[in-house]
Chains A and B, each alone.
Chain A
Amino acid sequence: MSDNDTDLEDQPPEALPLDAWHREHGARMVPFAGYEMPIQYTGEHGGIVAEHNWTRTSASLFDVSHMGQLTVSGDNAARQLEKLLPSGIANLHEGKMRYSLLLTEAGGIIDDLIVTNTGPHFALVVNGACKWDDIAHLREHLDDDVTLTHFDDFALLALQGPKAADVLEGIVPGVSELSFMTAGLFQFEGQHIWVSRAGYTGEDGFEISVHSNYVRAFADALVADERVQPAGLGARDSLRLEAGLPLYGHDLSQDTDPVSGGLGFALSKVRRTSGGYLGHAACLVRLEEGGCAQRRVGLTLEGRQPGREGAQVFSGDALVGTVTSGGFSPTLGHPIAMGYVETAFATEGTKLDIEVRGKRLPATVTALPFVPHRYHRKGA
């Protein structure tokens, strides 16, 4: 654990711009990533399973304002970012988004993020718990000819679910033209908002960056639509687990790397050859045949008892891995997990056991995602 983490835990959590709004809507607040965050809501539509199912069938409003909203600007911004990100940035067209990673020299993952070419600059959305370390890392490595800005006076809301596009189009005309992983500037009641068609649930949906001064009006406008209910971090976690999406600090860390973590798609094909980014040499080693000692896999459990983070994974008597995220899947009605297992045991269909309280729970290596993604892809 870094000193920064310790500092974060020692300080009282900050209030989100929508703190009072959440409490008025019956949120149960918990400290997370340095903020008081809604874990779930009470009431008729409240509870993790109800919020989870609402997201899969209608549209849910999540507050993810704890995440870091950064921009990098300057004539040289793309080239500078390419020193740190393994993705093509110079070839990222305006309005397009890309999943990427900050890496250590050894190929460890400092954070995962989304980078967007907004036109005037490149926007980075980074994990809340990592944002201060990320900013320090960027400051250290980016040259002085680019400007790093932290938009800490902006909230970030996510509207997720199959009805999200219809709902948002009614409030912010034009957003339904966006396809998955594209973004643009829109207006809400005469105010600029930045809308991205992306999310962390596996459903179609949007993330909306909105100034904290009018985020309440925007949230009110969304939940005024009966198709929208607020949802908390609990449902966000079960949704992303079903969607096979890794969570930094659990499924990804500096001890894991993009290849073992199943994120090879974030290593641009061209840049695997051309290199020039921190961690490139280490990633090349991982990409070689036999380069990864372990792999991130999905695990489907029999029965109803979940295997959770930290549970050990066995093949017979041999310890072959560890669960990094696990829980009960409301959509599938049985427990699911993600974890790292030795490469020889990472093939789909491999039968393993997860040890929970001295008991072995049978589990099968399963392709991710557990629940198919339903993104609104271009041309779809």
Chain B
Amino acid sequence: MARYFTEEHEWIEVDGDTAIIGITDYAQEQLGDVVFVEVPQTGTEFTKGAEAAVVESVKAASDVYAPIGGTVIEGNAALEGEPELVNTAPEAEGWFFKLTLADKDELEGLMNAKAYQAFCDSL
């Protein structure tokens, strides 16, 4: 298993052909109190960079883009009743959706935890 990060503050946990995707602690801190999350339906196919989910905080609505292409296996149903999981456990129970990867080469160029931390520190 390996965890990757994007400059859009998403994390991608890869295990074989599947990936779990969520937003980082830095991202939830910037968003503030999350009140609603719309996760994609099972079977939805994304290309890298497509609008995949919507997260609404008290302040504003934000898009979450698919950091890699693939087919949705599962959206996190727990977020419907408890969207605050994105604030309290962004990199664990507050995950957004699971994908079957379309092309593992798309993972190239993504950051590891250390590189992502350095990226956040530079902001």
Q: Is the CB of B36 within 8 A of A40?
A: no
B25 within 8 A of A: no
Interface string of A105-132 (1 = CB under 8 A from B): 0000000000000000000000000000
A335 to B35, CA, bound (A): 9
A48 within 8 A of B: yes
Chain A: how many interface residues by the 8 Å CB criterion? 18
Q: Is the CB of B56 within 8 A of A328?
A: yes
Q: Which residues of the other chain, B, contact A330 by a CB distance below 8 angstroms?
A: 33, 58
A211 within 8 A of B: no
Q: Which residues of the other chain, B, contact A49 by a CB distance below 8 angstroms?
A: 32-33, 58
Residue from the set B54, B56, B58 with the largest chain A CB neighbour count within 10 Å: B58
A234 to B33, CA, bound (A): 11
Min Cβ gap B109→A in Å is 29
Q: Which one of A142-150, A166-174, A300-308 contacts B?
A: A300-308
Q: Which residues of the other chain, B, contact A39 by a CB distance below 8 angstroms?
A: 59
The B-contacting residues of A in range 316-346, CB under 8 angstroms, are 327-328, 330, 335
A328 to B58, CA, bound (A): 6
B120 within 8 A of A: no
A47 within 8 A of B: yes
A357 within 8 A of B: yes
Q: Is the CB of B56 within 8 A of A305?
A: yes
Q: Is the CB of A238 within 8 A of B35?
A: no
> A47-B32, A47-B33, A49-B33 given as contacts; is B56 within 8 A of A306 (CB)?
yes
Interface string of B55-82 (1 = CB under 8 A from A): 0111111000000000000000000000
B38 within 8 A of A: yes
Q: Which residues of the other chain, B, contact A305 by a CB distance below 8 angstroms?
A: 36, 38, 56
Q: Which residues of the other chain, A, contact B35 by a CB distance below 8 angstroms?
A: 304, 306, 328, 335
Q: Which residues of the other chain, A, contact B36 by a CB distance below 8 angstroms?
A: 303-306, 328, 335
Secondary structure call for the A interface: mixed
B83 within 8 A of A: yes
Determine the residue in chain B with the shortest Cβ distance to A306: B56
Q: Is the CB of B38 within 8 A of A40?
A: no
A305 to B32, CA, bound (A): 15
Determine the residue in chain B with the shortest Cβ distance to A305: B36
Q: Which residues of the other chain, B, contact A234 by a CB distance below 8 angstroms?
A: 32, 58-59
Partner of B32, one of A48, A304, A306, A308: A48
Determine the residue in chain B with the shortest Cβ distance to A234: B59
Determine the residue in chain B with the shortest Cβ distance to A52: B58
A52 to B57, CA, bound (A): 14
Q: Which residues of the other chain, A, contact B33 by a CB distance below 8 angstroms?
A: 47-49, 330
Determine the residue in chain B with the shortest Cβ distance to A328: B35
Q: Which residues of the other chain, A, contact B54 by a CB distance below 8 angstroms?
A: 357
The B-contacting residues of A in range 233-265, CB under 8 angstroms, are 234, 238
A147 to B59, CA, bound (A): 41
Min Cβ gap A309→B in Å is 10
A348 to B21, CA, bound (A): 43
A36 to B56, CA, bound (A): 24
Q: Which residues of the other chain, B, contact A303 by a CB distance below 8 angstroms?
A: 36
Determine the residue in chain B with the shortest Cβ distance to A238: B58
A48 to B58, CA, bound (A): 7
Determine the residue in chain B with the shortest Cβ distance to A334: B35
Interface string of A170-187 (1 = CB under 8 A from B): 000000000000000000
Min Cβ gap A230→B in Å is 16
Q: Is the CB of B61 within 8 A of A327?
A: no
Q: Which residues of the other chain, A, contact B61 by a CB distance below 8 angstroms?
A: 306, 308
Determine the residue in chain B with the shortest Cβ distance to A359: B38
Min Cβ gap A120→B in Å is 42
Min Cβ gap B88→A in Å is 12
Listed from nearest, the 9 A-B pairs whose CB atoms lie closest are A328-B35, A49-B33, A304-B36, A305-B36, A48-B58, A328-B58, A48-B32, A306-B56, A234-B59
16 extra A-B contacts, CB within 8 A, seeds A304-B56, A335-B36? A39-B59, A40-B32, A47-B32, A47-B33, A48-B33, A52-B58, A234-B58, A304-B36, A304-B83, A305-B36, A306-B35, A306-B61, A308-B61, A327-B59, A328-B58, A330-B33
Interface CB pairs A-B, < 8 A, 11: A39-B59, A48-B32, A49-B32, A234-B32, A238-B58, A303-B36, A305-B36, A306-B36, A306-B56, A308-B61, A330-B58
